[in-house]
């Protein structure tokens, strides 16, 4: 069985702060559950030794999208702890995957390079087809994707973009640490700037998407440009399944002791927020 951790973040929406000081959007939880994983919320503001315990009990980490600072937030601090633990674990043959979506993708670029290299783009609420690079078809992430789905991804506007900041291809290429660490699998453009939209690490099971697979099946904001086509849903579940399959390679065990101090998401109740936020449901802590 596979247990994935999802990192929480400070509640940065002012109108939601009374509901909880940190949150996880429920769509991330549902996507991983749909692929056969169980989920642990990784809460912020814990001492480092608690995160080490969680790391040893779970099989992979998802860094979700959101809107907090990539260097000074608790989300950034916690992500760095798991990133460092994952690097060390994978180096000694202890497989442990990390997936970054949107803010999580951006966090991965900061953790790997040590720098903030993002550029403002006009990419808030727009769905796009991916421009695959030559290496995409041979990548870990896409090599087993059904060809019709791969074609749909490259021709149909089914990847939901909700970001003001992007990693330009220029900045990626100019940074030696990023260039050596990540293989760029797809790019996109806002009409002016070409940016990295999908990447995977060469030597580690680390994956980053600047777009949002989980929104297509689970977010229904009527004013949003989110694709709910069969192809978009299929992509979401392919991505979730890919990550969960990678997490199944991890030998970490979730014990009774872990269960007591770091309970599964089932112990928390999601709140309906579809009328007051960009998310249909959110978990607050």
In sequence order, the 6+-apart residues with CB closer than 8 A to the CB of 12 are 66, 67, 68
Bridge partners of residue 220, in order along the sequence: none
Sheet with 22-25, edge to edge strand ranges: 9-10, 22-25, 281-284, 271-272
Catalytic residue among 102, 163, 234, 252: 102
- The residue annotated as part of the active site, out of 163, 212, 234, 262, is 212
Residue 101's beta-bridge partner residues?
A: 209
Q: Is 237 exposed, middle or buried (0-12, 13-18, 19+ CB in 10 A)?
A: middle
Judge whether 269 counts as a catalytic residue: no
Hey, which bits of the chain come out as E strands? 2-7, 9-10, 22-25, 37-42, 60-63, 98-101, 119-128, 131-132, 159-166, 182-189, 194-201, 206-209, 271-272, 281-284
* Catalytic residue list contains 102: yes
Residues forming the active site: 102, 212
């Amino acid at each position: 069985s596979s247990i994935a951790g999802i990192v929480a973040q400070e509640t940065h929406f002012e109108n939601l702060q009374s509901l909880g000081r940190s949150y996880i959007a429920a769509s991330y939880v549902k996507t991983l559950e749909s692929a056969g994983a169980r989920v642990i919320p990784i809460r912020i503001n814990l001492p480092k030794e608690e995160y080490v315990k969680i790391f040893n009990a779970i099989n992979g980490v998802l860094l979700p999208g959101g809107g907090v600072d990539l260097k000074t937030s608790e989300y950034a601090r916690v992500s760095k702890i798991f990133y460092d633990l994952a690097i060390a674990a994978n180096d000694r043959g202890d497989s442990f995957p990390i997936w970054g979506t949107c803010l999580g993708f951006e966090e991965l670029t900061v953790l790997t390079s040590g720098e903030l290299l993002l550029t403002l783009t006009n990419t808030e609420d727009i769905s796009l087809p991916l421009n695959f690079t030559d290496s995409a078809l041979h990548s870990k992430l896409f090599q087993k994707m059904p060809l019709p789905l791969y074609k749909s991804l490259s021709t149909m506007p089914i990847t939901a973009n909700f970001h003001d900041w992007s990693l330009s291809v220029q900045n990626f290429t100019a940074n030696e640490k990023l260039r050596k660490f990540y293989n760029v699998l797809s790019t996109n453009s806002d009409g002016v700037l070409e940016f990295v939209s999908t990447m995977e690490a060469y030597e580690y099971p680390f994956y980053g998407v600047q777009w949002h697979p989980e929104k297509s099946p689970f977010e229904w904001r009527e004013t949003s440009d989110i694709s709910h086509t069969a192809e978009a849903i299929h992509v979401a579940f392919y991505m979730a399944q890919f990550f969960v399959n990678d997490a199944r390679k991890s030998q970490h065990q979730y014990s009774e002791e872990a269960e007591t101090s770091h309970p599964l998401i089932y112990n928390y109740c999601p709140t309906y927020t579809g009328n007051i936020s960009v998310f249909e449901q959110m978990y607050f802590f």
